[in-house]
Amino acid sequence: MKVTQHIEKANGKSLFSFEILPPLKGQNIQCIFDSIDPLMEFKPPFIDVTYHREEYEFKELPNGLLEKKIVKKRPGTVGICSAIQNKYQVDAIPHILCGGFTKEDTENFLIDMDFLGIDNVVALRGDAVKSEIYFKPEKEGHSYASELVTQINNLNNGIYLDADLQNTNKTNFCIGVAGYPEKHMEAPSLDSDIYFLKQKIKNGADYIITQMFFDNKKFFEFVDKCRASGITVPIIPGLKPISTKKQLNLIPHRFKVDLPDDLIMAVVKAKDNEAVKEIGIEWCIEQSKELQKAGIPVLHYYSMGKAENIRQIAKEVF
């Protein structure tokens, strides 16, 4: 079932969903099930599965030259989505990236998803790999998420890369895209960011899921700006409970997200990370309750493979 259909079926009730990471190479599917099992009592209608593109490592050879080696540390998105749908009978939503994919790769990925009965995808540009300062598109790939959305929407209309194909099958993907309540780190302003977000909607996106935020006021202002610009699709907030002191510096640096002063000082004064975890849970509970009271259709949690803090939040909210 499509995300938009789940929202319609809920009749105004806020749904619970979450996102997981594929396991590191060498681990098995059981570690994924172990992170999902504790959260199934809250009846998530769908679970997002991230995709991690290939990264590069450089090894110095005896002659002094550098050899570039491709490293893919978290493979398995396609298989995990299939396993989730088979085991839990809920919709699994794969993330699909511009980075690391040619247009042909993208088409083949989408064909596989269609064969597996997957109804939803999240289209993302993706971040630059660690060896790059700025994002570099794959040769014969897409530079922007809006272009990726167009290709997915074309496939929904039976338009494949090979124009000579006859009697083509139309896919029926519901397309999610990312939104940034505090703007994308590369955007010059929030208004310009929303301008390009609107382009993704025009190209065929059906819903928006946001980057994490810790101040609901910023989310509500973002929604108001989107609505004022003519964006009418569902906007799903992405939430993450802070759990370590290190994240006070890591989250603003990595995601360009601001932390409220009250949260910062509470974490600074916490005696250890166990206390920080409790602070993060309580903060996220309050965020969730306020969003739920405002009638937000889905509350989406970035679990990062750790279920316990999300379970404690869900127990108080759903």
Residue 56 has pLDDT above 50, yes or no: no
Residue 129 has pLDDT above 60, yes or no: no
Burial class (CB in 10 A: 0-12, 13-18, 19+), 15: buried
Residue 22 has pLDDT above 90, yes or no: no
Structural domains in the chain (count): 1
Domain span at residue 292 reads 3-317
Which of 273, 244, 271 is closest to 259 using CA atoms? 244
Average pLDDT over residues 84-97: 96
* Token reading at 178: 């990312």
Strand partners, 120: 174
Sign of torsion over alpha carbons 224, 226, 230, 233: negative
Q: Cβ contacts of residue 26 below 8 Å, gap of 6+?
A: none
**The pTM of the whole model exceeds 0.85:** yes
Average pLDDT over residues 82-102: 93
- pLDDT tens profile 305-315: 789 999 999 99
| pLDDT recorded at residue 143 | 87
Give me the CATH number covering residue 252.
Answer: 3.20.20.220
3-state SS, residue 288: helix
Q: Cβ contacts of residue 107 below 8 Å, gap of 6+?
A: 151, 155, 160, 161
The one-character DSSP state at 171 is: -
What is the DSSP secondary-structure string of 214-239? S-HHHHHHHHHHHHHTT--S-EEEEE
Residue-averaged pLDDT of the chain: 90
Average pLDDT over residues 261-276: 96
* Token reading at 305: 């493979």
